Structure 1
Amino acid sequence: MTDAELAAHLAQVAGRILLEVRASGMFEGKSLGKAGDQTANQFLCHAVRAQRPDDGLLSEESKDTAERLSKKRVWIVDPVDGTREFGEERSDWAVHVALCVDGRPETGAVALPGLGEVLRSDTPGALPPAAKTPRMLVSRTRPASEAVAVADTIGAELFPMGSAGAKAMAVVRGEAEIYLHTGGQYEWDSAAPVAVALAHGLHASRIDGSPLIYNQQDTYMPDLLICRPEWSERVLAEVGKLSA
């Protein structure tokens, strides 16, 4: 099984496990989110260690160690991206599985179990046609002020959505043109979505245009831009004006 096949298989199976946890009726709300996180994390971590024992591993739901920093190849997983949405029985949540090599997100899969879909870096499709009026995805609960300001400047429509993975994949799926985030995330929030987005020909970077580098000692990532390539220069320029 190739790395890409493994990433997609793990994301799909974890998604199926999460749907079963939700359908069990034994949990609701925050307890449902916690049960989903723990169950999916246990599966993903055991599977990665069994299938790729020499690689490093970083998961949102496991205690981080310095061991991964010496590894060339590191798997970065988020068992439930959008725990709140999962607990609320919405569909805008995801499972992330990525392989980063020398800090670059080379392989990834993002499962959208609520939609029955897994998007993969090894099977990129053509981007759907862009809308005439750009659509910008923002957080359901805390839209970043920079995103709102840029949307006003370029005439974009704002679309609130749940998890980072769901938003990034909405751009891949042609449901939006721009995902601009400045509220802070962690490596597991974007590694797999960025791998998939880049494979599909999208732009992905920090909001100053610099590349996204993973497997850092500090896993905090302040900002992110994933968008159609025809919008990257304009959005980066407008963001730059805000910080000038």
Structure 2
Amino acid sequence: MSSTPDTAQAFAKHAASIARRAGVVLLEAREDAKAQGVSGRALGALGDARAQEAIASWLADEAPGDAVLSEEAKDTAARLDAERVWIIDPLDGTREYSEGRDDWAVHVAVWEAGELIAGAVAIPGEDLVLDSASITPPSAAAPEQWRMAVSRSRPPALVEHLRDSLDLAVVPMGSAGVKVSSVIRGQADAYVHAGGQYEWDSAAPVAVARAAGLHTSRIDGTPLTYNRRDPYLPDLVVCRPELASPLLAAIAQAPSFGDHQ
């Protein structure tokens, strides 16, 4: 049976609490590591480990019996039969984190009865947490030119096609959660990814985006589904509803992406 709205709100607030606390752990770990001369990949690995350890401990105490799917933990088939699954990315944007930037995130989502029922995205560098219980839609006012959030380091080839086809302004930024959050916050109007991701990369941002009334789908327009046996979920579209049809049409016309599965 699906959760009631009140239950979903409670899980969203719980997810937000965990994401915020993990952000504090990550910021403190980075400061300590810098003082000890730790940097680069070692710093990223340290952050991943510290956040995973903290979140796993909190969930064991606060959500006993629930299954967990996390980027930084061994996956088990037991989650496929679980009533509820927490889908976690303890540190989304390890590269940005290790470089001392602010555009990285913590993802905490809750799946139940076949659906995402709650999610939270923390952007600790901005002391910000977005959650599916309290999020509001972005402004209805359309910009003079639609803006698309893209990777600052490795934008997929599809981005160039969409930029030219729809005359989009591209806005480079860090992690996937930050890019989806930019659409939720009205800083961008779309985020399209086709370069390979897993469920933990998008579950929490998608839960918040849906609560904000945004369009979310695969790049072929089919629904994003979670807690599948194979957590590989390589592509997604998150955008303002009025931009969904032209975006999906342009994607379908892209030579290398129209048949993407």
TM-score range, shorter chain: over 0.9
SS of residue paired to 1:220: coil
- Indicate whether 1:57 and 2:53 are aligned: no
Provide the rounded CA distance (Å) in 2 between the counterparts of 1:80 and 1:62.
12
Of 127-136 and 183-192, more deviation after overlay is shown by: 127-136
Provide the rounded CA distance (Å) in 2 between the counterparts of 1:152 and 1:106.
36
TM-score, normalised on structure 1?
0.97
- Residue of structure 2 aligned with 1:139, choices 134, 148, 151: 151
Hey, what does 2:79 align to over in structure 1?
Answer: 68
| One-letter code aligned to 1:148 | E
Provide the rounded CA distance (Å) in 2 between the counterparts of 1:228 and 1:215.
25
- Structure 1 unaligned runs (5+)? none
- Indicate whether 1:215 and 2:223 are aligned: no
Provide the rounded CA distance (Å) in 1 between the counterparts of 2:113 and 2:166.
36
- Output aligned runs, 1:34-183, within 5 Å: 34-128=45-139, 129-183=141-195
CA-to-aligned-CA distance 1:195-244 (integer Å, 9 cap, x gap): 00000111111011111101111111121000011100110111112216
Hey, what does 1:187 align to over in structure 2?
Answer: 199
| One-letter code aligned to 1:81 | D
CA-to-aligned-CA distance 1:133-172 (integer Å, 9 cap, x gap): 0111111222111122011110001122110000000111
| One-letter code aligned to 1:154 | L
Provide the rounded CA distance (Å) in 2 between the counterparts of 1:29 and 1:221.
27
State whether residues 204 and 225 of structure 1, in contact with CA within 8 Å, keep that contact through their aligned partners in structure 2. yes
State whether residues 130 and 174 of structure 1, in contact with CA within 8 Å, keep that contact through their aligned partners in structure 2. no
| One-letter code aligned to 2:105 | A
CA-to-aligned-CA distance 1:41-70 (integer Å, 9 cap, x gap): 011111112211121100100111111011
| One-letter code aligned to 1:21 | A
| One-letter code aligned to 1:188 | W
State whether residues 202 and 229 of structure 1, in contact with CA within 8 Å, keep that contact through their aligned partners in structure 2. yes
State whether residues 109 and 118 of structure 1, in contact with CA within 8 Å, keep that contact through their aligned partners in structure 2. yes
Of 98-107 and 80-89, more deviation after overlay is shown by: 98-107
- Indicate whether 1:8 and 2:16 are aligned: yes
Hey, what does 1:233 align to over in structure 2?
Answer: 245
- State the shift of 1:126 in Å: 3.2
| One-letter code aligned to 1:78 | D
- Structure 2 unaligned runs (5+)? 1-6
State whether residues 29 and 87 of structure 1, in contact with CA within 8 Å, keep that contact through their aligned partners in structure 2. yes
CA-to-aligned-CA distance 1:79-134 (integer Å, 9 cap, x gap): 00000000001111000000012332220000000111000100022312332201
- Count of matched residue positions in the alignment of Structure 1 and Structure 2: 244
With over 3 angstroms needed to count, the CA separation of the structure-2 counterparts of 1:23 and 1:130, relative to structure 1, is farther
| One-letter code aligned to 2:147 | R
| One-letter code aligned to 2:26 | L
